[in-house]
Amino acid sequence: MKGFLMRFPSLLLAATILFATPAITNLHAADPAPPGLSVYISFSPAASKPDAFSCSAEITDLATGAILAKPQILGIKGESGQTQVGDETSKIVLAVLVNKAGTNGTYTVTYSKSGKVVGIQKGSISL
C-alpha cells in the first residue's frame, strides 16, 4: 500500500489530510495556552568591579502587551544570581549566570500565577 501511495502523490496528500483532520479538530478543543512572555535581556560589565556583571531584563506579557517587570541583577562572574518580582498571585523569577571568563551569560525567567508556573523561558547569550 505504501508503494502505491508513493506513486500517486495526490492520494498520499489526500490520505494525510484525511487522517490528520481529526487531530487538528482536537487541538482546537484543548485548553487555551498559557500567556507567552517576551523577554529582553542585556548583560554588561559592572563598572565597580572587573569580576562583576550587570544584568537588566524587560519582561512583557504577549497577550496584553503589558510590561510585567524590569528586574536588574548585579552579580559576580561564575556565581549565579536571582531576583524575584511580585507575590504569590503573580510572580516572576529571573535567574542568571555569567561564566568566569565573562564570555557567556545564561538566564531563566519563570512566570507563576496563583502558585502555578505558566511560563518558562531560557536562553544563552555570547558576551
Among residues 41, 23, 12, the alpha carbon closest in space to that of 108 is found at: 41
Nearest-angstrom CA–CA distance, 90 and 70 = 14
In the three-class reduction of DSSP (H, G, I as helix; E, B as strand; rest coil), residue 93 is classed as: strand
User: What are the tens digits of pLDDT across the range 26-73?
Assistant: 434 444 445 578 899 999 998 888 899 999 999 998 888 999 899 999
Percent share of the chain, pLDDT over 90: 52
Q: Span 108-120, mean pLDDT?
A: 91
Q: Is the pLDDT of residue 110 over 60?
A: yes
Predicted TM-score (pTM) of this structure:
0.69
User: DSSP state, 47?
Assistant: S
**Residue 123: per-residue pLDDT:** 93
Average pLDDT over residues 88-105: 94
For 74, the grid coordinates are 548585579
Percent of the chain at pLDDT > 70 equals 72
Is the Cβ–Cβ distance between 53 and 46 less than 8 Å?
A: yes
Domain ranges, ordered by start, for the chain: 1-30, 37-126
Q: How far is CA 115 from CA 9, 19, 118, in A?
A: 50, 39, 9
Quote the pLDDT of residue 17: 40
